[in-house]
Amino acid sequence: MKNNATFVYSPELLTYKFNQHHPFNQKRLELTVDLLKSIQALSDEQIVPPRKASDDELQLIHDEDFIEAVKRAGRQELPMDRANNFGLGTEDTPIFPNMHEASSLIVGGTITAVDSVMEGKSDHALHLGGGLHHGFRGRASGFCIYNDCSIAIAYLRQKYNVRVLYIDTDAHHGDGVQWAFYDDPDVCTLSIHETGRYLFPGTGQVHERGTGQGYGFTFNIPLDAFTEDESWLHAYKTSVEKVVEYFQPDIIVSQNGADAHYYDPLTHLSASIKIYQEIPKLAHEIAHKYCDGKWIAVGGGGYDIWRVIPRAWSFIWLEMTNQRDKATGKLPEDWLEKWTAQSPVPLPTEWMDPVDMVPVIPRKKEIEEKNAQVVAMALKIIQNSKL
C-alpha cells in the first residue's frame, strides 16, 4: 500500500559534525523530529533509516580522487596541503573523524528518498539531513562535502530517466547543483537566494542561464538584502509557477534551506516563518499538478537551530501529510520544557512569529521594486520562448 509520504531519518545523521562551535549543527534534525512527535504528526512507523551511498553512486558527481581524499582525511591520513586542494581542512569545512562515512550516509538518505518515490512506495519523501548543495566534483565547499542534491538528480536521470525540476530556496545560491547540470536540458534549476554581493558563494546572477543544450534551463532570482515576506513570496510564487509550466518536469526536488529568516545569523534577509508555510504548499500543489505527486524534499542551510529550523522544517512534513492544522497557535508545552534549558536563546512559544518581529526598513518599497525587476529579468527567457 502506497503511503503519501516517507520520512528519512536516523540519529546517525548527527555524526556529520565538524566541531562544537561550527554553525552547521545537525542537532536541528533532532529538534525537528521531536517537535513533530510532540504534536503527534510523525510516528516511528513512518520513519525510514538512510543507508550509506556506494562509491559508484558518489561518482555520479564526484571524482574518485576526491572521494579517496575524504576517506583519508577522516582517518587523519591526509596531509593538510593536500587536504586544502580538495576544500578540506578549511574554516568552512574542517576535517572530522569518519567524515566519509557521515557524508555518504547523507547522500544515501537522499537516494533512499528518491527510491521511495520512484518505486511507488510513497508520493513524497522528506530527508531533512540532506540539502548539501555547495559541493563540487572535486572539492568540498560551504559546509558541504558530498553534494547529495546533485547525486540524487544524477541518480534520477541515470536510473529512472526523468526530467527533474530542482527548486532551491536556501538564502545561499545553490551553486554546486547549478554547475553540475548547467548544460543538461533535462534538469532545470531554480534558485531563489540572497544576492551574492554580500553573501557566499557570490554566484547566482540573473544572467547565469545555462550553456549549450542546457541554455534556458537555469534560473536565478537574487534578492536584495533585507527582503521581507511579501517580496520574497512574490519572487517564489511567480518564478515557480512560470518555470514549472515552461519545463514540464516528471519530478520535483526541493532544497529547503531555512536561512532566509530574520533571525538567521549568517544571512541578511528579513523573512518570517510565514514563508516556510508557503514554500511546501506550492511545491506540493505543483507536484500533483505536473508530476503525479512525485516530490522529494531535502533540508539545507539554517543556522538558528532553536527558534527557526524546527518550525520551518516541520511545515514541510505537515504539508506532505496533510496535517497543516496541527501547526497553529502555541507550540507544545512538553517540547518547550524539554529544550528550553539547552537553548542559548529564548524559544518561541507559538508556531508563527510576532508581527512586529522585523524592524521597519526605510528601503522597503525600493527593495520590493528591485526584486520585482529581478524576477521579470530572470523569467524573460520564458516569455521570449513563447514568441
Query: In the annotation, is 134 catalytic?
Result: yes
Cα distances (Å, whole numbers) of residue 323 to 54, 308, 349: 35, 19, 20
Q: What is the 3-state secondary structure (H, E, C) of 250-303?
A: CEEEEECCCCCECCCCCCCCCECCHHHHHHHHHHHHHHHHHCCCCEEEECCCCC
Cα four-point dihedral sign 295, 383, 378, 309: negative
Tell me which residue of 320, 321, 348 sits closest to 332, measured CA to CA. Answer: 348
Catalytic residue, candidates 100, 127, 133, 134: 134
Q: How many CB atoms lie within 10 A of CB 225?
A: 16
Nearest to 339 by CA among 311, 300, 367, 306: 306
Cis before residue 354, ω within 30 degrees of 0? no
Question: Do the Cβ atoms of 220 and 175 come closer than 8 Å?
Answer: no
* Residue 215 in grid coordinates: 541554455
Beta-sheet pairing, 164-168 with 122-127: unpaired
Residue 327: how many CB atoms within 10 A of its CB? 21
C-alpha cell at 107: 547522500
* Active site residue ranges: 134
